[in-house]
Structure 1
Amino acid sequence: MTLLQVQHLGKVYTTRFGGNQVEALSDVSFSVDSGDYIAIMGESGSGKTTLLNILAALDKPTRGNVILNRKNMVHIPENEISAFRRNHLGFVFQDFNLLDTFSIQDNIFVPLVLAGKKHKEMEQKLMPIAKKLGIENILAKFPYEISGGQKQRAAVARALIANPELILADEPTGALDSKSSDDLLEQFEQINAEGQTILMVTHSIRAASHAKRVLFIKDGNVFHELYKGETSNEEMFQKISHTLTMLATGEDSNA
């Protein structure tokens, strides 16, 4: 079943001084099926961050539509957008975005607190996720007392706890060492295997090689895409490397 449809998305910014217009996205179209795991890659300035912000309902496109489970996010009124984001989307950030004055448990609870859930319900939702991510022993600790890998697992738990339709991950391995990155990517694969849809923006070829599908953005357009199928992570790594070389050199993606 198609969960997300991105239709002819364009975004033009007007600079503060001089009134010049900058086209960040030109004509981006793709769809995401329920249970998919997609990585978005591209050079700096390619438009992938703008795309992620629009998909996260943090920005509005100049043209086009973003339809999540038959709801057009572009037309959601400003006074309803925060609730929509909280109820339908989960977020994992490069810098974790944990609150230092909250325990790990309370950080994970934040989406449910904002949704007005009762404490008993929050606790029932927490433990299965905490055990799955291996963080049940650090729930009483504070962010400054745990490692980067543990912080990111807590951030993943916070993203999962409201049972979102789509998880958006922005460079989730960017602040992690190689072992913590590998651990997180294995957890993402497991979470996806259990049915969670994930869309991840990353510069990391290793991270992208774990996804089922990779979209490459160049000059505000989808330049190319790869499907993993039965390909191994190592083979996918090589395919992604080759495509990124094409992006950098300007080769034809169909060559």
Structure 2
Amino acid sequence: MSLLEVKNLKKVYTTRFGGNQVQALKNVNFSVEEGEYVAIMGESGSGKTTLLNILASLDRPTSGEVLLNGKSMNKVREKELAAFRRENLGFVFQDFNLLDTFSLEDNIYLPLVLSGKSHEEMVRRITPLARKLKIQDILKKYPYEVSGGQKQRAAAARALITDPQIVLADEPTGALDSRAAEKMLNLFSQVNREGQTILMVTHSTMAASHAGRVLFIKDGEVFHQIYRGTMRNEEMFASITQALTVLSSGGEQDA
């Protein structure tokens, strides 16, 4: 059984004025195995952000379902969603979503505090994680006192500290310079090699080239996918670039 299964997913929005309907997702089907690193790409308006919001249980599909470890997210009641997300999902956002009035350490601790973990348990978890992410010396600093790359590593620590079943990343390198982005992508690759499942939405070909598989969304459907196989990052980059060219030109590509 796959860790994440997306079945016949459709999402239709009704506009506020006139009652017009916009179909953001038509019929999306794919699965993610435990330990995979999957990137999702597509042009603006292709439906990838809507898809990510549904996977994050921040939005509900019009029809179809998402199963995480065999459990349908559709069946999680509204009042249980926050706890479900906290216990099963880790999030890394483009704009970090750190609280400026909290130190980096307290930002990282936040999901554990909300889960009622003891301080001893929080310290036990953060120590090796901070060392791995090379932020152990800045934990007492506040977000406005550190660089963008350091903020994103703290955000990654917050996502990983709960040992989530899957990390959902939304343009995680979008606010970083090229050097910080490369460090972040190397970190993602490292934690993926250690067994963490990652699903990342990105516009960046460089970011996607680090993934093991890339799904391309077009007009609300999965249009094409690339498996890394034995390809190096440079070869993966070239394959993604070629697929994006076909995607933008409206040509056909076998999935």
Corresponding residue of 1:170:
170
Equivalent positions of 1:77-156 (< 5 A) are 77-156=77-156
What's the secondary structure of 2:3's corresponding residue?
Answer: strand
Find runs of 4+ consecutive structure 1 residues off by over 4 angstroms.
none
What's the secondary structure of 1:2's corresponding residue?
Answer: coil
Paired letter, 1:238: A
Corresponding residue of 1:63:
63
Structure 1, unpaired ranges of 5+: none
| Cα drift, residue 75 of structure 1 | 1.5
Equivalent positions of 1:34-49 (< 5 A) are 34-49=34-49
TM-score scaled by structure 1?
0.99
Counterpart CA distance in 2 for 1:34 and 1:246 is 30
Counterpart CA distance in 2 for 1:170 and 1:57 is 14
Counterpart CA distance in 2 for 1:99 and 1:142 is 9
TM-score scaled by structure 2?
0.99
Paired letter, 1:175: A
| Cα drift, residue 62 of structure 1 | 0.2
Structure 2, unpaired ranges of 5+: none
| Cα drift, residue 240 of structure 1 | 0.3
| Cα drift, residue 203 of structure 1 | 0.1
Corresponding residue of 2:253:
253
Counterpart CA distance in 2 for 1:209 and 1:113 is 35
Counterpart CA distance in 2 for 1:250 and 1:113 is 48
| Cα drift, residue 254 of structure 1 | 2.7
| Cα drift, residue 207 of structure 1 | 0.1
Corresponding residue of 2:194:
194
Counterpart CA distance in 1 for 2:84 and 2:155 is 19
Write out per-residue CA displacement over residues 90-137 of structure 1, whole angstroms, 9 at most, x where no aligned residue: 000000000000000000001000101111110100010000000000
Aligned residues: 255
Counterpart CA distance in 1 for 2:62 and 2:254 is 30
| Cα drift, residue 70 of structure 1 | 1.1
